Amino acid sequence: MVRFGDTDAAGVVHFHELFRWCHETWEESLEKYGIALKDIFPTNEINTSQLDVALPVIHCEANYFQPLYVGDNINIELNPEKLNEASFVLRFRLVKDGENICSINIKHVSINPITRKKCTLSKQINMWLYQSNLSY
């Protein structure tokens, strides 16, 4: 549900909130498929070298079709797509009362967290990409 703090001075949901909600949807999907967030994202622990890969965002885009206001309820659909051995895109569709409100795409690339060079996706992310697409 859209909260007052999610809106701007015009009473419309601010665009960055939609990106935040989409990222939270991705995090929930990872957890649903048994992936601990601390195994994917850096933490404040001293030794973060346990991460096989880092997954920076290299591109994001959004198309807005209708505004959202305080009290609106929305559903967020996630359809991830593996692009190649080193990258994937998270495709989101935000829906209110059966109508498209927004579409958002967030592209990630896999890099070695130490060298910062592109590398293959982790086994966990590959498994999540595969499993999460079985239900569609």
Instruction: With cut-offs at 50, 70 and 90, classify the pLDDT of residue 76.
Output: very high
CB neighbour list of residue 115: distance below 8 Å, 6 or more residues apart: none
Read off the pLDDT band of 107 (50, 70, 90).
Answer: very high
The CA distance from 51 to 104, in Å, is 27
Give yes or no: 8 in active site: yes
| Residue 28, H or E segment | helix 15-32
- Which residue would you say has higher pLDDT here, 105 or 72? 105
Global pTM value: 0.88
pLDDT for residue 68 is more than 50: yes
Tokens at residue 96, please?
């209110």
CA neighbor of 100 nearest in space, from 61, 59, 63, 60: 63
Q: Please state, as a whole number, how many other Cβ atoms lie within 10 Å of the Cβ of residue 111.
A: 17
Average pLDDT over residues 28-53: 79
Contact 85, 73 (CB under 8 A): no
The pair of structure tokens assigned to 48 is: 């973060």
pLDDT digits (tens, 9 = 90+) for 1-27: 888 887 888 888 888 899 999 999 999
CB proximity list for 19: less than 8 A, separation 6 or greater: 60, 62, 104, 106
pLDDT at 84 over 50: yes
Tell me how many degrees the CA angle 119-123-129 measures, rounded to the nearest 5: 100
Over residues 84-100, mean pLDDT: 97
Q: Is 114 helix (H, G, I), strand (E, B) or coil?
A: coil
Q: Which residue among 8, 39, 52, 72 is the active-site one?
A: 8
The mean of the pLDDT values for the chain is: 90
